[in-house]
């Protein structure tokens, strides 16, 4: 009797048949995300930070839409949700892409958990939260264990930016930065100043510092 009253006050039922729909659509979504992100995007760019971002945002967006589909959301509530996610854009300081992803994850889970009612079973809520925790932990500590980070530098030896001088330029960058560089990309080239913008990539665990915002800071000097 007491347990039943607690269940009613929470407004949740433990199980309904939509759980099977949730799991089936989640499997399809994860399969499509893996094909697009891991096998189409990542081999070309080697950007592990965005690999993490695309997976987390893709899955949490799926859960938000699945949850909202089961709820009777009026216009006021819809506008309120847009306002909540709008705070991601309106910020004063530059925030790294990974921190922005965690911000989106925290907001998304909070929205789902707060809107959960008797239209969404307790088991569905547990699955949503559990999958996001396991996905985030898996990406952070298993799949992306050795995280590749990047730094933007201004390079004055533009005589080495030719493709045939790649090895020589790599050796020069390693010697001058002291970083164990995996690869680099040449960005904007300014022949008037004889400098080029170069993005170098290295494993974060091998170094004690990194600078994700350097690209935005240094790119302003080329405008």
Kindly report, residue by residue over 147-182, the tens digit of the pLDDT. Answer: 677 788 999 998 898 889 999 999 999 999 888 888
Cα→Cα distances 180→42, 100, 148, 170, 202, Å: 21, 27, 11, 10, 6
pTM above 0.85, yes or no: no
Q: Where are the domains of the chain?
A: 2-143, 148-222
Question: Which parts of the chain have pLDDT scores under 70?
Answer: 1-12, 72-95, 114-118, 144-147, 205-223
Under 8 Å between Cβ of 197 and 218: yes
- At residue 155, the pLDDT reads 94
- At residue 208, the pLDDT reads 52
- At residue 144, the pLDDT reads 61
């Amino acid at each position: 009797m007491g347990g039943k009253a607690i269940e009613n006050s929470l407004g949740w039922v433990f199980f309904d048949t939509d759980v099977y729909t949730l799991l089936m659509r989640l499997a399809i979504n994860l399969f499509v995300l893996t094909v697009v992100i891991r096998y189409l995007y990542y081999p070309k760019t080697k950007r592990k930070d965005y690999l993490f971002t695309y997976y987390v945002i893709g899955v949490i967006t799926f859960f938000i839409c699945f949850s909202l589909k089961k709820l009777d959301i009026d216009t006021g509530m819809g506008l309120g949700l847009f306002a909540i996610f709008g705070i991601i854009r309106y910020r004063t300081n530059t925030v790294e892409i990974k921190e922005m992803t965690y911000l989106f994850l925290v907001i998304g889970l909070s929205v789902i958990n707060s809107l959960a009612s008797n239209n969404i079973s307790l088991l569905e809520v547990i699955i949503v939260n559990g999958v996001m925790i396991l996905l985030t932990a898996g990406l952070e500590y298993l799949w992306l264990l050795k995280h590749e980070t990047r730094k933007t530098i201004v390079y004055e030896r533009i005589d080495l930016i030719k493709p045939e001088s790649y090895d020589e330029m790599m050796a020069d960058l390693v010697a001058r930065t002291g970083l164990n560089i995996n690869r680099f990309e040449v960005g904007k080239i300014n022949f008037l100043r004889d400098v080029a913008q170069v993005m170098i990539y290295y494993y974060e665990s091998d170094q004690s510092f990194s600078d994700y915002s350097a690209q935005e800071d240094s790119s302003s000097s080329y405008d």
